[in-house]
Structure 1
Amino acid sequence: MASPWLVVGLGNPGPTYASTRHNVGFMVADELAGRARAPFAAPRGMRADVVETRLAASGMGGVGADAQRVILLKPRTFMNDSGAAVAKACAFFKIDPDHVIAVHDELDLDFGRLRAKKGGGDNGHNGLKSMRAHLGTGDFYRIRFGIGRPPGRQQAADYVLAPIPASLREDYAVEVSRNADAVEALISGDLAAVQNRFNS
């Protein structure tokens, strides 16, 4: 039986961080759960909020012979310990690292840009760094959600943890939906096709 897919939305738990740029991974996971019409639950010992669903030709939450099992995960740990929750989920659901997709904010891509890739460095991202440490490999897929660099002399940490300005929330909602589309395309297709369609 093929390994399920694990889609990891990277972010920080709690209302303080909910509307920040650093939590766009959580936003994409929420979008996918909404498409599946499935609520997140917190299984005992999992250290994460989890949705179990399937992706079929009809979309997330669909059924059919082509449907692939998908686990959506939002770690309840803080970003720099995300890998602990990811490794626990991989062990529990018997998921191979090459069936893991991490969705995360990316400073080095302008807002409105998206990149799908497999493997590579962590580029200073603590969530990716923790995943690599706990999985023992960086050879998992990444959907890199461009948020751009901070303006002026603002520190990167302050920028990613500041609430998304009200003037940009509609634009962010569009990008959340597009990144969710890229996740679905990656699960149901192949990386090269996703890169041709979405990478910018």
Structure 2
Amino acid sequence: MNGIQLIVGLGNPGAQYEATRHNAGFWWVDQLARQHGASLKLDSKFHGLLGRARIQGQDCWLLEPNTFMNASGRAVAAVANFYRIPPQAILVVHDELDLPPGGIKLKKGGGHGGHNGLKDIAAALGTPDFWRLRLGIGHPGDRDAVVHFVLHTPSRDEMRSIEIAMDESLNALPQLIDGAFEAAMLKLHTKPKTVAKVEKS
């Protein structure tokens, strides 16, 4: 298999965090699980909620770490090591401050951009060379306001934009599972062109 074998959604456990921007990765994996009839169950051995979905005729593991964000790597490394999943077959879905609500970017490797979940996963795997699906949540405009911002609920308009982005990005799952990453990027990064209407005078 050359494609994605493990999809990790990032977030913080607990009801008080469910609707906050930092939990966008959880929202995405929850939606994927609903679409594919998968159920995630708490597995203490893997420090998180783990399930399996059948996509494109292949089994793919779904994981939501049950640790707080800055300790996400413990769960990811536990699953990856047990099932012998290499870093390049892991997709981490996370909130992204540097993209507006509704923005989507797929990339492999690179820095963590101050995201504590990515930072811990790279440390636990011993490499940053895993795939990331970045879900835009916007930026408060002030670095000092970031913690407050990510731990609060998006506005209704922001949430609608994020939901549309999640739907669009889930459409790229077949390519991701098949390892057709360039095709997945093309699908995700190409926005449909709007046709301008010419007003008749």
TM-score scaled by structure 2? 0.87
Give the paired residue count: 190
AA matched with 2:52:
E
Mean Cα displacement is larger for which, 158-167 or 99-108? 158-167
d(CA) in 1 for partners of 2:88, 2:129:
6
Cα distance 1:184–1:125, how it changes in 2: closer, same or farther (>3 A)? farther
d(CA) in 1 for partners of 2:2, 2:176:
15
Q: Does 1:123 find its partner at 2:113?
A: yes
Deviation at 1:163, TM superposition (A): 1.2
2:41 maps to which residue? 41
Cα distance 1:13–1:97, how it changes in 2: closer, same or farther (>3 A)? same
Q: Does 1:94 find its partner at 2:89?
A: no
AA matched with 1:41:
K
d(CA) in 1 for partners of 2:2, 2:155:
42
d(CA) in 2 for partners of 1:52, 1:69:
6
Q: Does 1:134 find its partner at 2:117?
A: no
2:162 maps to which residue? 172
Q: Does 1:185 find its partner at 2:175?
A: yes
Deviation at 1:71, TM superposition (A): 0.3
Q: For structure 2, which runs of at least 5 residues remain unmatched after alignment?
A: 191-201
Deviation at 1:165, TM superposition (A): 2.2
Deviations 1:111-156 (A, max 9, x none): 2211111111111100000000000000000101111111568701
Q: For structure 1, which runs of at least 5 residues remain unmatched after alignment?
A: 57-66
d(CA) in 2 for partners of 1:110, 1:3:
28
d(CA) in 2 for partners of 1:42, 1:184:
26
Could you tell me whether the CA contact under 8 Å between 2:2 and 2:178 is conserved in 1? no
Larger C-alpha radius of gyration, 1 or 2?
2
Q: How does 1:17-36 map to 2 (within 5 A)?
A: 17-36=17-36
Could you tell me whether the CA contact under 8 Å between 1:4 and 1:68 is conserved in 2? no
1:11 maps to which residue? 11
d(CA) in 1 for partners of 2:64, 2:188:
23
AA matched with 1:75:
P
